[in-house]
Amino acid sequence: MATILSLVGLMISASLVNNVVLSQFLGLCPFLGVSKKTDTALGMGGACIFVITLASLVCSIIYKFILDPLDLSYLKTIVFILVIAMLVQFVEMILKKYIVSLYRALGVYLPLITTNCAVLGVALNNVTDGYTILQSVICGFATAVGFTIAIVILAGLREKMEYNDIPAPFRGMPLVLLTSGLMAIAFTGFSALK
């Protein structure tokens, strides 16, 4: 029971309290770039959940059974980035061949995820925080859910703001950043949940 409670606590903290974009600034590029429409934001979020969960699993297995026993933990950055890049390609190939419906929904977003620093950031954080494999997977999943929540909210706000009259220098990126700043303030409210 206690372990389940601690896992739930981990999920809440990873998805809402320490939101990956709004409080850790990881994965900002897709957050700012792919948030024009709610549809695409949802697709990106779905692809992120899939890839980050899988990458957390694979990276923590590699760390636990290869890097740590051989005392090679200083190689983790190099190994993780290559593993993630390979994994994304591999997932894309498998989905294309065997699960076509999922590929049609998420496939187009997969190449964009290789450059997403959230994937590497979560994998590295799992190692620094000393999580077990189960905890890493839960943490990866919850982080990606947090990313999805944030990007979908931002996309909804941007759709509403599209027709507003905004001073010329603030059009585009500055307005998106200001909106994200206000969202970050709202999300600090979750820190009371800790």
Partner 1 sequence: MSSEFKKGALGFRQDTPAERFFNGLIAENPTLVLMIGMCPTLAVTSSAINGLGMGLATTFVLALSNAVISALRKTIPSTVRIPSFIVVIASFVTLVELLMKAYVPTLNKALGVYIPLIVVNCIIFGRAEAYASKHGIVPSFFDGIGMGIGFTCAITVIGLIREFIGAGTAFDVQILGEGTVVPGAVGNFLSGYQPISIFIQQAGAFFVLAFLIAIMNKVKANMAAKGKDTSKFGEGCCSSSEEKAADKIIADKEKDEKEAE
152 binds partner 1 (CB under 8 A): no
What's the longest Cα–Cα distance across the chain?
A: 60
174 binds partner 1 (CB under 8 A): yes
* x/- track of binding to partner 1 for residues 111-130 (CB under 8 A): xx--xxx--xx--xx--x--
Stretch of 6-14, 56-64, 144-152, 173-181 lying at the interface with partner 1 (CB under 8 A): 173-181
Query: 113, 47 in Cβ contact below 8 A?
Result: yes
Shortest distance, position 165 Cβ to partner 1, whole Å: 16
Amino acid at 162: E
Nearer to partner 1, 8 or 166 (CB): 166
81 binds partner 1 (CB under 8 A): yes
Residue 99 CA to residue 174 CA, distance in Å, equals: 39
Among 16, 20, 34, 54, binds partner 1 (CB under 8 A): 34
102 binds partner 1 (CB under 8 A): no
170 binds partner 1 (CB under 8 A): yes
Total chain residues near partner 1 (CB under 8 A)? 54
Question: By the criterion CB under 8 A, which residues form the site for partner 1?
Answer: 22-30, 32-34, 36-37, 39-40, 43-44, 74-78, 81-82, 85, 108-109, 111-112, 115-117, 120-121, 124-125, 128, 168-175, 177-178, 180-182, 184-185, 188
